[in-house]
Structure 1
């Protein structure tokens, strides 16, 4: 095999510098009200893997200790996690911006009728992850 290290040692490519962590993305679990073929985590109504309450309670501590300014929540449908509202409120109490990667259809599901108002009341930024164009 030909050595390529010489090509890497002498270069005018600018040095890469690491910046501080500003966003913590958390996949709360694989439970989702939908089952999309293109889903990269194969989330569905039949998945049961969810982040434990013990881990959920660590997230605000990490946000504070690392001075992270944004919490990005994803899943499945993160809103379906039983501790979603707890985590949103805890992060907002710390002044952390919260992003909810939402498929939007969850907002119409039985039991989640208040979710849109909850997100608005807590100033959560909703990023729509649309399941399909049709």
Structure 2
């Protein structure tokens, strides 16, 4: 369930579009960069842990997680880039998700050109992705 784009199971998020795979891709990327599962069976109450929120807080606070302890600076930069792109792809409103073409451009661009997205899980701070997110 954690990988399915919201519009696939609820019409409240709009209709299914060519961007639906972007959400699933991004949730998988967030698991890979964090070393955590979206639904962690070792956590007693799943409501206490929401992977995107945990990751978002780490990103905006400039914190690192366990996986980064033995990484090079270049690897850490790539991990941050993957994370920021993935957070753009799970915004509350699917209309704000980038296309997969845009995702590829963001991933092959420079980290310095990426803006941190608004919280992807709070609709009150929802704004569209800036058009100048990468040099393309």
With the shorter chain as reference, the TM-score category is under 0.3
Whichever structure has more strand as a proportion of its residues is: 1
Calculate the TM-score normalised by the size of structure 2. Answer: 0.22
Calculate the TM-score normalised by the size of structure 1. Answer: 0.23
